[in-house]
A and B are shown apart, each in its own frame.
Chain A
Amino acid sequence: MSHLLEVQDLKVKFALRFGDLTAIDGISFTLDKGERLGIVGESGAGKSVTGFAIINLLSKPGFIAEGKVLFKGQDLSTLPGREMRKIRGNRISMIFQDPMMTLNPVFTIGTQMVETLKAHRNITTQEAEKIALEKLRKVHIPSPEKRLAQYPHEFSGGMRQRIIIAISLLNDPAIIIADEPTTALDVTIQAEIMDLLQELCQEEEMGLILITHDLGVVSQVTEKIAVMYAGKIIETGDTQTVVTDPSHPYTRGLIKSLPGALKTGEKLYQIPGMMPNLTAIPPGCAFNPRCNLKDEICLKEVPLLKRTEKGIMAACHMI
C-alpha cells in the first residue's frame, strides 16, 4: 500500500564553516490521507527542520543530504524549483509559529489570499475573492467581506492565525504542516485554534503534521506520534499507546514531566540534564548522559527503532 507522504531515511545537514552539521539523522515516517501525526521533542530536536525539509524550503546553509520525501510517490527532495513551487501552498501548506510575523504588514489580507490562489490556478480576482471569503468563513472569521480590505495589524494574534489557516486552506491541500501553531497565543485561544485545525482535517480528510512540544495537545488532536531527540525519532506509534504507556526512557520522562499528572503540592518532574548540542552528540545512544537505565552497550552502540510488543516502535537497548 502506498502512503500519501512517505519520508524515508531523511538526513538534513547544515553546511557550516567548520563542516557539516547533521540536524536530522535518518528519520522515517508516513502519513496517510486524513491522518494526523504529532511530532514532539525538546527545543532543537529538529522538528521545524523536518517540516521545512518536507516542502524543500530549508533556510540557507541547510540541505537534504540523504533520503527521500515521497509525496504520492514523487520524490520532493529532488524536484526542480519550478515543480516544487506547484506543490507548496497548493498540495502541502505550512503554518508557522508566530502569527504576528507571518503576514506581510504592507499588503491587505485580500491581496495575500488572492495571490496564493493565482499562483496555482488560472482564475480571475473575483473568483479568487469568492474562494477567499469561503475559507475565511470556514475558519469562523466574523463578517469576512470587510476583512479582505484590512491589513494584518488590524487583527489580534488569534484572528491572524485563523487567517493564516484560511490561507493554507485556499487550494484545498492534501497535507497541512503546522509548526507550533499556538505557542505564541493565549491559552484559551490555543484551544480554539487546535479544535479548528482538528475539525478542518476531519471535514476535508486532510493530512496534518502537528509540530509541538505540548504532549497534551498531541494526545488530543493526533492519532499517531513521533518523538524526536537530537535529530532522530526515538519512539513512534499510536498516540494513545505512547502517551499512556511510553516505552522509551526519554518519552517516559516527558510524560512524567506533564503537569496534568500531578497531585497538588507535588513537585514537577524534570528530566535531568539537557539535550546535547548537535555538534557534541555522545557516542552510542544520544540520550545516555541523561538516562537512568543506561548500560555499557548504550555508550557504544546506537539503538535502532524496533517494534515492541505494544505495537509501537522505540529505539532503546533496554526494551
Chain B
Amino acid sequence: MFAFIIRRTTQAIFVMLVISMIGFAIKNKIGDPVRDMVGERVTPAERAEIREQLGLNDPFTKQYVRFLKNAAHGDLGLSFFYKKPALEVIIAKAPATMELVFGAGLIIVLVSLPLGVYTALRPRSFLSRFTMGFSTLGVSMPVFLTAIMLIYIFGVQLHWLPSYGRGETVDLFGNGWWQSGFFTLDGLKHLILPCVSLASIMLPLFIRLIRSEMMEVLETEYIKFAWAKGLPPMRIWMVHAFKNTLLPVVTVFGVQIGIMFAFTILTETVFQWQGMGYMFLEAVERSDISLLITYLIVVGSIFVIVNTVVDILYGLINPTVRIAGRK
C-alpha cells in the first residue's frame, strides 16, 4: 500500500509539472508582466529596460526554471487588476467555490446513491421509470438552462430561495479568509440553487452509473452464492452488492468532482457567486493573464490532488489493489 501511495503521488507531481509548463508557455507567449507591474503609461524605452531587469529576455528554459522556483514559494506572478500576488487573489476566492463544489458533491452522493440502488433493485417500479426518464432529460439539459429555470421558479415566481450572492456567512478560522455559508440558515438557503444547478450536470450520469454497476453485480455468481447461503436480502444488497458497486463509482466520482471545478465558472456567473469561477470570467474580460494562468494551475492542481486522494481511497477499499501495492 505504501509503495502504491508513493507511485500515485509521483504520478501526480509529474502531471502538475506538465500543467505548470503549459501555464508558463501561455504566459510566456501572451502575458505581459511589465504591464502587470507598472500599467500601460510607460515609454517603450523604459519598458525595454524593465524587461531586461526582469530577465524576460532570458532563454525559455531558464525562465521556466525561475518560474518553477517562484511557484514553489507560492509566487505565481502579480494580478494586473488587483495589484496583488495572483495566488493570494485566488486563495481568497477559493472557499466560496469549494463550498459550492462540496455542496453539489454532497447532493450528488445523497441523491444518486439511494436512487441508483433503488432503480437497480426495482427496475420496473414507477419511481424507477420516472427517475430514468427524468435523468435522460437531465443529461441533455445545459447547466445555464437548469440554473435559469431554477431561478425563475424558486426565486422569481415562488420567492422561496434567493438566487444571487452567498447570503449571511460565518468566519470559520477567525482570520476572515474562509467565509462559510454552511452554518447559517440564510447561507444554506443561498447555497441551495447554485449547488443544485451544479449537481444537476453530474446527477443523471451518477444515477445511471450506479444503477448499471449494481445491476451487473446482482447478476454475478457471488451474489447468487450469497442467496444460496441464506443471507438476509438487506445484507446481500447493502453489503455484498453495494461494496462491489461502489468501487468503480468512487473512481469516476473523483474525476467528476475535479471536472466540476471547471463547471463552476458558469454556475458562479449565473448566480453571481463570488468564487474562483466568477473571478475567472472577470479576469478574462480584463485580460489579467497572470491571474488566468494562476487559476489554470490552481484548478489543475485541485483536479490532480482530488484524483490522487480518490485513487488512494480506492486502493484502501479494494483488497486486490492493496496486494498489488504490497509487492
Contacts and interface: CB of A to CB of B under 8 A. Distances in A.
Contacts of A154: 323
Interface stretch (B44-52, B170-178, B314-322): B314-322
B137 interface: no
Given A98-B221, A106-B319, A153-B319, A120 B230 contact: yes
B230 A57 contact: no
Give the 8 A-B residue pairs with the shortest CB-CB distance, closest first. Answer: A89-B230, A89-B229, A88-B230, A101-B221, A151-B319, A104-B222, A94-B228, A116-B229
B240 interface: yes
A104 B320 contact: no
Interface string B290-327: 00000000000000000000000000011110010000
Interface string B226-270: 111111100100001001100100000000000000000000000
A153 B323 contact: yes
Interface of B is mostly: helix
Interface in A78-116: 85-90, 93-94, 96, 98, 101-108, 115-116
Nearest to A56: B227
A89 B319 contact: no
A90 B230 CA distance: 7
Given A107-B240, A119-B235, A57 B222 contact: no
22 contacts: A57-B224, A88-B227, A89-B231, A94-B228, A96-B225, A96-B228, A103-B225, A104-B222, A104-B226, A104-B240, A105-B222, A105-B244, A106-B247, A107-B243, A115-B229, A116-B229, A116-B230, A116-B231, A119-B232, A119-B235, A120-B230, A153-B323
Q: For chain A, which range describes its interface: under 10, 10 to 19, 20 to 34, or 35 or more residues?
A: 20 to 34
Contact of A57 (B221, B227, B232, B235): B227
B243 to A, nearest CB: 5
Q: For chain B, which range describes its interface: under 10, 10 to 19, 20 to 34, or 35 or more residues?
A: 20 to 34
A106 B318 contact: yes
Given A96-B224, A103-B222, A115 B231 contact: yes
A69 interface: no
Contact of B230 (A87, A106, A153): A87
Contacts of A90: 230
Contacts of B244: 104-106
A116 B229 CA distance: 6
A162 to B, nearest CB: 15
B157 interface: no
A221 B110 CA distance: 54
A96 B221 contact: yes
Contacts of A87: 230
A167 B229 contact: yes
